[in-house]
Structure 1
């Protein structure tokens, strides 16, 4: 079984609380839509990451804007379920931007990243990384993948959401994220998909085919 949820921000106990009513175990996969937050260079984070590796289920995540990209980039890149991923642990995988994965016979297009609105309060290479925003290489990789799959996929996995969806969520799109949210707007129009899952906004709401997630844990049938 595949489940999907929103930002976890490295909170192990809170993540387990979300899963309290779900029978998730060996052979199952939990997908996290960005701000995974368990990859940090401190003792407590390493302990929490070890706890995750003791779980029987698989954890896969797209990156958000609150990740340690220096550390994340040090993990080995492997072929995982048809796409490129950083293997963070025995059962933990970072789904790299612009890749397509097949899990339990379902296809997933992954494209993480977002702009940090609190960037002025953060310190580069300590609490903020420029890699939070997708690079030209990320977009180029996505283009190649979309061409290969014929712009058809079962599910889309992102951290941020299309610009029009942000507006319908009652938010104001950030100009610093215009390239990414504009790209997602194009994907929303051009991609043939069943459902889009994202996080970032710390709310739980469905807007047409886009599910914005925070505390919810949804099964993917």
Structure 2
């Protein structure tokens, strides 16, 4: 079993399919998507068609929550099951498409791995004005934050790997921000909370997506279309 990792896909999986062919993966292998997989976005037949395509690919998807997708329980009839020692959300007809539960601690090759998804959408009002999906639940609410912190308490704030969508605020790639966007209008509450976690957590690796760039900022690796493997 291999645990591969990559950034946002936004419903476009051609490159993942090419990767699977090139590496001759099977459904025993896992592709971690660091948020915005976009599988539950339109909440209509097109989502089911996409899931049908992905269910035929030789990989198991493990999706961190992003800000361009619904939470699983908002999207379809998902059930919870235990997978690699943590809870995931899965639909019976698509067993290789798994959605992470924020704050769960998974065992990947003996390493403790926690997903902490969500972010604010800078295109929120554009999407609302134009009748595109926007999800009020895009950022972690107080219940999710409490759950994450309780789980961290149980492991004395020691993890091997964090998988987030956005980043601690001090790790933002400010050079990659959209020119002309007034950052004072952007809700940074998730980034500020992740900063609290970052400052108090003993960890080895931290991966994030969201920004559509490839870089490392203060020990956090931000990914887009490149791949890595958790060994």
- TM-score, normalised with respect to structure 2: 0.86
Unaligned runs of 5+ in 1: none
Contact 1:77 1:87 in 2 (8 A): yes
Question: Partner residue of 2:124?
Answer: 119
Alignment of 1:131-146 (within 5 A): 131-146=137-152
> CA–CA distance in 2 between the matches of 1:130 and 1:64?
12
Question: Partner residue of 1:83?
Answer: 86
Unaligned runs of 5+ in 2: none
2:221 matched to 1:200? no
Task: Tell me by how many angstroms 1:169 deviates.
Answer: 4.9
> CA–CA distance in 2 between the matches of 1:200 and 1:111?
13
> CA–CA distance in 2 between the matches of 1:3 and 1:173?
33
Task: Tell me by how many angstroms 1:104 deviates.
Answer: 2.5
- TM-score, normalised with respect to structure 1: 0.89
Alignment of 1:86-165 (within 5 A): 86-88=89-91, 89-123=94-128, 127-165=133-171
Q: Aligned with 2:32: secondary structure?
A: strand
Contact 1:101 1:108 in 2 (8 A): yes
Contact 1:4 1:219 in 2 (8 A): yes
Task: Count residues with an aligned counterpart.
Answer: 221
Give the RMSD, CA atoms, in angstroms: 2.3
